[in-house]
Amino acid sequence: MLDLQRIEKDEYQLREGEQHQDYVPLLLQFIGDPQPELRDNLIYPMFYMWIKEENRFSEEELRSFLSVLTDKNHLFYHIGSEEDQSVFTRTFSALPIALIVQRHRQNPFFTQVEIEQLLHTMLRYYKEEKDLRGYLSEGGWAHSASHGADVLAELVQCKECSTVMRGEILVAISEKLNNGKHIFSDEDDERLVNIVDGIIDNELLPHQEIADWISSLAQCCTLPRSRSQVITRVNNKNFIRSLYFRRGQDSRQNELHTVMLATEAKLNRFSIR
């Protein structure tokens, strides 16, 4: 921690004789440390600066880096567990993955097969991750839904991502909203909206397919009333509202606005009909 605090103070520049490669094993070892000061305030900013801002890693280094981040000791560390500290390792392994994909989008170096493999890995992670807590009084941010969404928001805009793959990402969003146990209260809906907003803004899917998917979010209203059904309805309602206001009054998307308003009305049991 003292080393990282010193590097942060020096604006992420290393001293003579130091190499960024020397720090990578330690950064990965402590990537999910329970101390937010180390995990969130020091390790992730270093990844951000060295991957995104300073471009310190070669393409082969990023490939190797990604292989570790997606292994059973990082993204899939104790996958499926809930209410324990392993969530920090999983979710903070996702954040650098988003940075690596963003780097690829700017200067492509992954193959079509590699991007497809990464997408399937992330979809598997999103399906198997069960700890959906946001901010914890002890440990700080967990935010698995948000951090996973950050990666998907980058992947969905990759030129290697097919229409079918983008449809699979929409299904993954629905499944996360329909988790039935956890109401997202720490703005995970906004991070999930980033994915769909990118699809709409860059016209990555036909409008009718997006409209049909938005309409499908109201299907939970037909389920028998239960606590699980209420959680699902509220998550979908909040997501639709976030998407609607994110899109603003873009005149090009009037048909989608109409669908969003109609879907929100179905999800909002207090709306005046």
Please provide the average confidence, as pLDDT, over all residues in the chain: 95
What pLDDT score does 272 carry?
A: 64
What pLDDT score does 273 carry?
A: 59
What pLDDT score does 255 carry?
A: 86
Residue 26 CB coordination number (10 Å): 12
For 260-273, write each residue's pLDDT tens digit. Answer: 999 999 999 887 65
Tokens of 237: 């309602």
| pLDDT above 70 for 56 | yes
Burial of residue 151 (CB within 10 Å: 0-12, 13-18, 19+) is buried
Arithmetic mean of pLDDT, 180-192? 96
| pLDDT above 90 for 35 | yes
| pLDDT above 70 for 125 | yes
For 69-84, write each residue's pLDDT tens digit. Answer: 999 999 999 999 999 9
Helices marked H in the chain — which ranges? 2-9, 20-29, 36-38, 44-47, 59-69, 86-106, 112-128, 144-155, 163-177, 188-201, 207-216, 227-247, 254-267
What pLDDT score does 17 carry?
A: 87
Burial of residue 79 (CB within 10 Å: 0-12, 13-18, 19+) is middle
Contact partners, residue 219, CB within 8 Å, separation at least 6: none
| pLDDT above 70 for 229 | yes
For 242-257, write each residue's pLDDT tens digit. Answer: 999 999 877 566 889 9
What pLDDT score does 252 carry?
A: 64
| pLDDT above 90 for 146 | yes
DSSP 232-258: HHHHHHHHHHHHHHHHTT-GGGHHHHH
Tokens of 234: 């509220």
Cβ atoms of 29 and 1 within 8 Å: the answer is no
